[in-house]
Amino acid sequence: MSTVEPPAWHEGQVAITNTHPVPGRYVDARRHAAREPLPVRARIAWATGDELVDTIALAWTRNLVLVRLDDRRYPLRGVWLTVADVERR
């Protein structure tokens, strides 16, 4: 009788090359006058190639935007990108 090993927790993950560390200070969309996330299109630079994703902006600084990313290839639910990689929809 053979046993099948479950996949490793990191199996299938792909690095994002245009992500940035969490900044020390930022504006949270829930605390902003809009009180709701902003619809955006984000360029995600996966190690395997770029992809445009329709998502929402959750927080921002002058230079960075936190966008939601629900993708099995990435272990976190959001990614900080430069403003050049994000546009409002």
The residue with tokens 């990614």 is: 79
Letter for the amino acid at 20? H
Q: Which residue from 77, 57, 81 is spatially nearest to 69, judged by alpha carbons? A: 77
Domain locations in the chain as residue ranges: 27-88
Average pLDDT over residues 27-39: 79
Q: Give the model confidence (pLDDT) of 37-87 as tens digits.
A: 799 999 999 999 999 999 999 999 999 999 999 999 999 999 999 999 999
Q: What is the structure's pLDDT at 54?
A: 98
Q: Taking 80 as the threshold, does the pLDDT of residue 3 lie above it?
A: no
CATH class of the domain whose range is 27-88: mainly beta
Q: Which pLDDT value is given to residue 85?
A: 98
**DSSP-based three-state secondary structure for 30:** helix
The pTM for the full model equals 0.85
